[in-house]
């Protein structure tokens, strides 16, 4: 029994799929490095990420299956689910046989799983567009902390590039220690860790105070529905919302 082990990157996963095809092997599982356990009956094959090989696989997905399938594969990968890599591999094996009709084969467990993971990631990315709260720092940069369940930073960054094209901003995924840095029409997602206190601009502190007061005053007590509120804005997101308890204030 063979397990392919990759570095955890999307290029690494696509390289593993490339190697499985050209080596005429069929790995039982594809796992990210660090998530394996010793087993005498399993041969671990370590795959080194290769950008050119990965690009060839990605192009094949787009051309032989569909651009929509490529998007589903990426979103499933960004779910960070333990079985995501193996699921994507099985989905693509079937996809290269069936073409774009693979997405109609929902009776197949791997096709269904890819659709499920895609839906979860897409759903959270859509919610997060309305939940990101920027704070103006003394440096003049707008900063927003987030802690999403899934690795959606690269999905939502283009939206804010269009929404705030003339501002310098940072969206910081605290959970994954990643940040999207934007300036002068370009953004990049890079590893980033910051544990210090934020220095908010004085006007930003006044704005936050006014916003919290406004949010409190417009609430009609007889219509407050905590259950419905949690449905549309889950409690796990409240930590970084200015208008809710736990929202950030001046350090």
Q: 140 falls in which pLDDT band (50, 70, 90)?
A: confident
Mean pLDDT of 96-114: 98
The string of pLDDT tens digits covering residues 50-80 is: 999 999 999 999 999 999 999 999 999 999 9
d(CA 99, CA 33): 30
pLDDT at res. 211: 45
Q: For the whole model, what pTM was predicted?
A: 0.82
The string of pLDDT tens digits covering residues 219-250 is: 555 555 556 555 555 677 667 666 555 555 44
The DSSP secondary structure of 87-127, one letter per residue, reads HHHHHHHHHHHHGGGGGG-TTSHHHHHHHHHHHHHHHHHHH
The residues spanned by each domain of the chain are 2-124, 132-191
What residue spans of the chain are helical by DSSP H?
10-22, 51-60, 67-78, 84-98, 109-128, 153-163, 202-218, 226-232
């Amino acid at each position: 029994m063979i397990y392919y082990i990759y570095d955890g990157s999307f290029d690494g996963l696509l390289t593993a799929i490339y190697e499985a095809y050209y080596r005429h092997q069929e790995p039982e599982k594809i796992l990210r490095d660090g998530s394996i356990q010793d087993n005498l009956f399993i041969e671990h094959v370590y795959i080194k990420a290769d950008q050119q090989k990965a690009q060839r696989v990605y192009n094949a997905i787009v051309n032989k299956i569909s651009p929509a399938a490529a998007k589903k594969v990426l979103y499933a990968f960004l779910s960070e689910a333990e079985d995501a890599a193996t699921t994507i591999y099985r989905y693509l094996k079937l996809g290269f046989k069936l073409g774009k009709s693979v997405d109609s084969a929902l009776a197949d467990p791997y096709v269904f799983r890819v659709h499920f993971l895609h839906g979860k990631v897409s759903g959270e990315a859509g919610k997060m567009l309305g939940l990101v709260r920027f704070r103006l720092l003394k440096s003049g940069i707008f900063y927003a902390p987030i802690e999403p369940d899934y690795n959606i930073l690269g999905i939502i960054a283009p939206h804010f590039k269009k929404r705030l094209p003339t501002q310098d901003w940072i969206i910081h995924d605290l959970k994954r220690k990643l940040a999207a840095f934007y300036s002068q029409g370009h953004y990049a997602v890079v590893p980033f860790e910051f544990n210090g206190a934020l220095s908010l601009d004085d006007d930003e502190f006044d704005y936050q105070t006014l916003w919290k007061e406004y949010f409190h005053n417009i609430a009609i007590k007889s219509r407050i529905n905590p259950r419905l509120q949690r449905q549309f804005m889950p409690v796990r997101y409240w930590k970084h919302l200015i208008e809710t308890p736990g929202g950030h204030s001046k350090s």
